[in-house]
């Protein structure tokens, strides 16, 4: 089975090169109503507070992969694919990484999002309270708890898979994993290992560039690639001349793995999108571009730092200046200069 994910241009290139998938904690999703279906409850103030605490914890204790059944949704191209400049990638999801209950709280086979216009009123009984407690434990520790608590699967679907009907156009399918964040050095199964996009600001200090994002280190096979209407790679494909050399690595990968490469087009006479096949050379990337290079603004402090610490400079050297807690730091060719 092939399911799809929409990307902007740069993030799409990264996804194509790596074949890795990013999951995100729902607290950072664009819909503030995420995981709130059960909040229409009646019970004592103590029980209601207990439930709200559990729902809040769920937003931080899991990571979710969002896929869709269609690569031709105009709204999703506009919202999630950088206004049609990006990509849609079709993944072969029949893999233990996405299907196994040992590695997924909700696997891909059970991840169809359910859409509703109402939140059903439910009584927060002692039994329901205890079931919420058991579900919270499942989000904290790996393993399949369904045999011991068969009611958990239905509760997990209500917590993680119910959204308002205004989102029905997305045809979303989810995979929900525990947010455990093992690294490759931990000795755990590679299917648990993930990393973040990290920016080092100073020696020993850094930030996550995209908060809540976990990129799992298990590759997933790519089957289809769609280039948006405004994707810059189409200019090269359609014969525009570019200065500089061409990087063919992505083209070669697509040929080796036999991707189906397509371009998105508008359908004449309707509001629908359609696709047409492209040759793999559409994924050849020009290393240089016309026009002005991005400008870099330097202060006097920056220049003084470069003079003092850059040493002997070669044309191929790359420099990075950061400021952390009022102090400037210089990185030369990915190494901090002391």
Calpha distance 304→313 (Å, rounded) = 15
pLDDT tens-digit readout, 125-165: 888 888 888 888 888 876 656 666 678 888 999 999 999 99
Would you give the end-to-end CA distance of the chain in angstroms?
52
Instruction: Calculate what percentage of the chain has a pLDDT beyond 70.
Output: 90
Q: What is the dihedral of CA 250, 252, 254, 256, to 10 degrees?
A: -150
Calpha distance 38→119 (Å, rounded) = 7
Q: Looking at residue 233, what is its pLDDT?
A: 92
Q: Which residue has the tokens 């009984």?
A: 125
Residue 242 has pLDDT above 70, yes or no: no
What confidence tier does 291 reach under pLDDT thresholds 50, 70, 90? Answer: very low
For residue 302, count other CB atoms closer than 10 A to its CB: 16
Q: Looking at residue 172, what is its pLDDT?
A: 98
Q: Looking at residue 295, what is its pLDDT?
A: 64
Lowest mean pLDDT, pick from 88-92, 139-143, 194-198, 203-207:
139-143
- What does the domain layout of the chain look like in residue ranges? 2-216, 300-337
* Lookup: tokens for 277: 């096949």
For residue 216, give every residue at least 6 positions away whose Cβ sits within 8 Å of its Cβ, in sequence order, or none. Answer: 20, 21, 22, 23, 97, 177, 191, 193, 194
Instruction: Calculate what percentage of the chain has a pLDDT beyond 90.
Output: 59
Helix axes 45-61, 126-140, angle to 10 degrees: 20
Q: Looking at residue 151, what is its pLDDT?
A: 81
- The H or E element containing residue 50 is helix 45-61
The answer to whether the CB of 174 falls within 8 A of the CB of 161 is yes
Lowest mean pLDDT, pick from 13-17, 44-48, 306-310, 331-335:
44-48
The answer to whether the CB of 62 falls within 8 A of the CB of 178 is yes
Instruction: Please tell me which of 16-20, 117-121, 277-281, 316-320 the model is most confident about, judged by mean pLDDT.
Output: 16-20
Q: Looking at residue 146, what is its pLDDT?
A: 63
Q: Looking at residue 287, what is its pLDDT?
A: 66
Q: Looking at residue 136, what is its pLDDT?
A: 86
Residue 273 has pLDDT above 70, yes or no: yes
Average pLDDT over the chain, rounded to an integer? 89
Residue 237 has pLDDT above 80, yes or no: no
Sequence-ordered strand ranges (E) for 22-116: 22-24, 41-42, 62-68, 87-92, 114-116
**DSSP string spanning 126-176?**
HHHHHHHHHHHHHHHS-S--TTT-THHHHHHHHHHSEEEGGGGGG-EEEEE
Q: Looking at residue 44, what is its pLDDT?
A: 82
pLDDT tens-digit readout, 1-11: 999 999 999 99
* Lookup: tokens for 225: 């690639």
For residue 123, give every residue at least 6 positions away whose Cβ sits within 8 Å of its Cβ, in sequence order, or none. Answer: 41, 42, 43
């Amino acid at each position: 089975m092939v399911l799809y994910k929409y990307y902007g241009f740069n993030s799409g290139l990264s996804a194509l090169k790596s074949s890795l998938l990013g999951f995100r904690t729902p607290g950072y999703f664009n819909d503030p109503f995420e995981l709130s279906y059960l909040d229409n409850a009646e019970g004592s103030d103590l029980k209601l507070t207990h439930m709200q605490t559990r729902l809040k914890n769920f937003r931080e204790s899991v990571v979710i992969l969002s896929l869709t059944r269609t690569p031709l949704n105009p709204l999703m191209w506009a919202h999630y694919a950088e206004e049609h400049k990006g990509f849609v990638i079709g993944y072969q999801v029949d893999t233990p990484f996405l299907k196994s209950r040992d590695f997924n709280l909700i696997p891909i086979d059970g991840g169809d999002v359910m859409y509703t216009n109402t939140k059903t009123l439910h009584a927060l009984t002692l039994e329901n309270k205890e079931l919420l407690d058991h579900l919270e434990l499942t989000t904290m520790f790996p393993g399949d708890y369904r045999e011991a608590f068969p009611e958990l699967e239905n509760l997990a679907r209500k917590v993680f898979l119910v959204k308002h009907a205004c989102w029905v156009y997305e045809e979303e399918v989810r995979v929900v994993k525990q947010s455990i964040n093992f690294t490759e050095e931990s000795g755990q199964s590679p299917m648990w290992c993930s990393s973040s996009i990290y920016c080092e600001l100073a020696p020993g200090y850094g930030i996550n560039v995209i908060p809540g994002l976990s990129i799992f280190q298990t590759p997933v096979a790519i089957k289809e690639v769609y280039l948006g209407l405004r994707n810059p790679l189409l200019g090269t494909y359609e014969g525009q001349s570019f200065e500089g050399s061409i990087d063919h690595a992505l083209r070669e990968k697509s040929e080796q793995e036999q991707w189906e490469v397509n371009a998105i087009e508008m359908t004449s006479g309707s509001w629908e999108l359609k696709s047409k096949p492209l040759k793999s050379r559409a994924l050849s990337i020009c290393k240089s571009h016309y026009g002005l290079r991005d400008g870099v603004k330097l202060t006097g402090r920056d220049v003084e730092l470069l003079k003092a610490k850059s040493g002997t400079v070669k044309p191929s050297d790359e420099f990075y200046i950061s400021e952390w807690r009022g102090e400037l730091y210089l990185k030369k060719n990915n190494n901090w200069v002391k």
